[in-house]
């Protein structure tokens, strides 16, 4: 598909609109990631918003809309650094997120991820049979909006997104701000010495996320919850002495935190390794072909020039070295060798990660690409190499002081840049596939992706600070008087902290991790058997269900089941016309932005319950009202999607 009018591809208004959408989706994904450890794909919502807004401003070409969604999706993806940065809070190294280090490492890592994928574009996108499901879907959305003279499809999609955001925002404000509604319901009971817990949440963001995850992933997480709270916790509470004489609920929570979550981590690691192993051969072939490909002089679709890539890459390397040095300088003047190691590690492992994640994204989609597995592998590799350097006397002695505190913290800093590069690589090739299908100029798109990383990085530090000061993280509360029931679980940072600390301090709970690894192997085998029958039980999702708080897994499953029912009833409708995806994205955006806004109010007043009316509605009535409102929204969601009819 060729377009002669390139003047409408990269425009000032498009860049401004992309920046505004960037702020919204980066904040939303950061909040959602810290709450449940998952993010939502922002390409399609960004494309719909762009088409509707630019049409209201006097029209917009398909290429201009593509640039907006590319910029916004890059920034929404770069929020994945939530998986590492909070670990520095959890280990007590930071008490807030410094703007320079947080934004700098996020931007440098993300922009490096863009550069890493440029040499891979021809082999993995242009000349590749890889399906790129999200990239193709985004291209179809752009084409549908461009070919619709009235713009009805884009307007309807935008209205659906706004409706979902409005409903979710109001309910979230009533729950988190006014404290009129509970955000979950839990009951704990004992049978003999075994403690069980039934729990569900009323979060509309989780409802929307479950819809987007799909039936297989949602039910797999529900199965993980069952393994955790209906099997592992009852078994362990029955055989573990309650020496602290805790009540049943507190004892069950303690067992889950200190034992069962390690089982979940082991299952996640095994499932991730299996997924990576399955893709190892096609990834190797794809990278080999990419490195062996050469640009054709007749090819009109040009990438950023080698000179631009070299200059940008050099500047990013210098910036990373400087950031690593600044991080270490307050503790030691011998920072050159570890800073060089961090920079070189990103250059080598970052490129391999980019190729791996890019290929996996093209094969199974960005949402299904096991970034969590890459993070775990990178954690083990970084920590192991730092341990080796310590044995070779290449690191200053301060790295080993206080149970390797600085070594653990520096590993987190290196990992933050790796995660940014991996996540962007995961998303970038999808965007370039979309661009190829709609006739975009690769070099312009790559430039916009770099800009999106830079803008998104500016949003990450203030959002992280707001959320931490307002809610705290599980295991790290900024103030003693804060409400522990509203804490953000921050699951990935907790896993990374656990693994890194265990490697350096040699105190990993190998018994629970081994049980988790065995559980993961069993889940992989079970998934293989089910796939022969046309079913699936994603083992990684089950592991995440074991690890996440119970109210999260059950609410995600409710959203997934709601999506399955709605799509089953409306199966005559084409997938790209599904208004439910836009409503679900709106539910996530509305609750996330409300959560960020309430965090700002809490930060300004120093009181996380300042808006509560009369101290809030007492239990159990807040739980009853929360359940009724949640059920009403589910009913509205289903009726709205079914009533909209096919596009």
The pLDDT tens digits for 151-187 are: 565 567 768 878 888 998 899 888 877 888 888 888 8
For CA atoms 152, 153, 154, 157, the dihedral sign is: positive
Enumerate the β-bridge partners of residue 186: 199
The mean per-residue pLDDT over the stretch 620-626 comes to 80
Is residue 646 over pLDDT 60? no
- Across the chain, mean pLDDT equals 81
* CA–CA gap between residue 426 and residue 77 (Å, rounded): 9
In a domain, 271, yes or no: no
The closest alpha carbon to 402, from 509, 506, 505, 508, belongs to 505
Give the pLDDT confidence of 184-220 residue by residue, as tens digits. Answer: 888 898 888 899 999 888 889 888 878 877 888 888 8
The answer to whether 266 and 514 have CB atoms below 8 angstroms apart is: yes
Q: What is the pLDDT of residue 344?
A: 94
Structural domain count of the chain: 1
- For the ranges 110-119, 288-297, 511-520, 628-637, the one whose mean pLDDT is highest: 628-637
Is residue 289 over pLDDT 50? yes
Is residue 602 over pLDDT 70? no
Q: What is the pLDDT of residue 2?
A: 46
Q: Which domain range does residue 117 map to?
A: 12-161+309-484
Give the pLDDT confidence of 103-154 residue by residue, as tens digits. Answer: 999 999 999 988 888 877 776 777 666 667 667 767 767 776 666 544 565 5
In a domain, 579, yes or no: no
Buried b (16+ CB within 10 A) or exposed e, 211-238: bbbbbbbbbbbbbbbbbbbeebbbebbe
**Eight-class DSSP state of 571:** T
In a domain, 155, yes or no: yes
Q: Per the structure block, which two tokens stand in for 646?
A: 């096919």
Q: Per the structure block, which two tokens stand in for 73?
A: 């999706």
Residue 642 has a CB neighbour count (10 Å cut-off) of 15
In a domain, 27, yes or no: yes
Burial degree of 415 (CB within 10 A; 0-12, 13-18, 19+): buried
Question: For 185, phi and psi rounded to 5 degrees?
Answer: -135, 130
The mean per-residue pLDDT over the stretch 502-508 comes to 84
* CA–CA gap between residue 309 and residue 292 (Å, rounded): 18
Q: What is the pLDDT of residue 479?
A: 82
Q: What is the pLDDT of residue 152?
A: 61
Strand pairing of 194-201 and 184-191? antiparallel
In a domain, 152, yes or no: yes
The CA-CA-CA angle for residues 107, 112, 115, to 5°, reads 130
Q: What percent of the chain has pLDDT over 90?
A: 22
In a domain, 3, yes or no: no
Q: What is the pLDDT of residue 372?
A: 66
Is residue 573 over pLDDT 90? no
Is residue 74 over pLDDT 90? no
In a domain, 37, yes or no: yes
Is residue 618 over pLDDT 70? no
Characterise 230 by phi-psi region: left (phi > 0), alpha (psi -120 to 50), beta (else): alpha
Q: What percent of the chain has pLDDT over 70?
A: 82
Q: Per the structure block, which two tokens stand in for 231?
A: 């099997």
In a domain, 603, yes or no: no
Q: What is the pLDDT of residue 4?
A: 42
* CA–CA gap between residue 350 and residue 378 (Å, rounded): 10
């Amino acid at each position: 598909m060729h377009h002669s009018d390139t003047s409408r591809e990269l425009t000032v208004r498009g860049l401004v609109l992309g920046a505004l959408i960037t702020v919204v989706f980066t904040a939303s994904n950061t909040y959602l990631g810290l709450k449940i450890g998952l993010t939502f794909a922002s390409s399609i919502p960004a494309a719909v918003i762009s088409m509707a807004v630019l049409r209201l401003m006097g029209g917009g070409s398909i290429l201009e809309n593509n640039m907006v969604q590319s910029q916004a999706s890059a920034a929404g993806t770069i929020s994945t650094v939530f998986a590492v940065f909070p670990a520095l809070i959890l280990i007590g190294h930071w008490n807030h997120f410094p703007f320079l280090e947080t934004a700098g490492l996020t931007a440098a890592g993300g922009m490096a991820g863009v550069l890493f994928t440029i040499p891979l574009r021809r082999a993995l996108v242009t000349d590749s049979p890889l399906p790129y499901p999200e990239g193709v879907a985004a291209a179809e959305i752009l084409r549908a909006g461009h070919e619709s003279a009235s713009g009805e499809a884009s307007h309807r999609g935008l209205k659906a997104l706004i409706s979902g955001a409005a409903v979710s925002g109001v309910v979230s404000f009533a729950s988190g701000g006014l404290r009129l509604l509970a955000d979950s319901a839990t009951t704990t009971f004992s049978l003999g010495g075994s403690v069980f817990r039934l729990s569900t949440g009323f979060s509309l963001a989780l409802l929307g996320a479950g819809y987007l995850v799909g039936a297989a992933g949602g039910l797999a997480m529900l199965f993980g919850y069952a393994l955790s709270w209906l099997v592992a916790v009852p078994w362990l509470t029955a055989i573990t002495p309650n020496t602290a004489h805790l009540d049943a609920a507190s004892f069950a929570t303690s067992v889950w935190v200190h034992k069962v979550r390690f089982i979940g981590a082991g299952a996640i690691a095994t499932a991730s390794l299996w997924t990576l192993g399955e893709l190892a051969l096609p990834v190797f072939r794809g990278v080999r072909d990419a490195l062996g490909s050469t640009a054709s002089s007749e090819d009109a679709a040009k990438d950023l020039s080698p000179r631009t890539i070299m200059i940008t890459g050099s500047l990013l390397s210098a910036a990373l070295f400087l950031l690593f040095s600044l991080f270490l300088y307050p503790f030691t003047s011998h920072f050159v060798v570890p800073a060089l190691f961090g920079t070189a590690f990103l250059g080598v492992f970052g490129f391999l990660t980019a190729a791996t994640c890019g290929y996996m994204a093209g094969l199974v989609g960005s949402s299904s690409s096991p970034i969590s597995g890459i993070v775990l592998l990178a954690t083990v590799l970084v920590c192991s190499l730092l341990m080796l350097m310590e044995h070779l006397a290449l690191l200053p002695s301060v790295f080993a002081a206080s149970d390797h505190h600085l070594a653990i913290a520096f590993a987190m800093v290196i990992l933050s840049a790796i995660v940014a590069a991996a996540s962007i690589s995961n998303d970038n090739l999808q965007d370039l596939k979309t661009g190829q299908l709609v006739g975009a100029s690769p070099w312009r798109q790559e430039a916009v992706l770099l800009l999106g990383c830079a803008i998104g990085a500016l949003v990450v530090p203030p959002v992280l600070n707001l959320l931490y000061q307002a809610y705290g993280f599980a295991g790290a509360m900024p103030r003693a008087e804060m409400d522990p029931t509203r804490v953000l679980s921050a699951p990935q940072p907790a896993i990374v902290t656990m693994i890194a600390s265990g490697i350096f301090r040699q105190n990993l709970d190998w018994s629970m991790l081994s049980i988790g690894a065995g559980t993961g192997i069993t889940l992989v085998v079970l998934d293989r058997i089910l796939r022969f029958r046309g079913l699936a039980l994603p083992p990684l999702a089950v592991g995440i269900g074991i690890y996440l708080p119970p109210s999260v897994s059950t609410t995600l499953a409710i959203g997934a089941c709601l999506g399955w029912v709605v799509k089953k009833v409306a199966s005559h409708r084409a997938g790209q016309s599904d208004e439910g995806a836009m409503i679900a994205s709106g539910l996530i955006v509305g609750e996330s932005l409300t959560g960020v806004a309430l965090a700002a109010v809490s930060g300004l007043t120093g009181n996380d319950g300042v808006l509560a009316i009369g101290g809030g509605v007492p239990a159990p009535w807040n739980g009853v009202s929360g359940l009724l409102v949640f059920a009403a929204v589910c009913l509205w969601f289903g009726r709205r999607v079914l009533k909209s009819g096919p596009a």
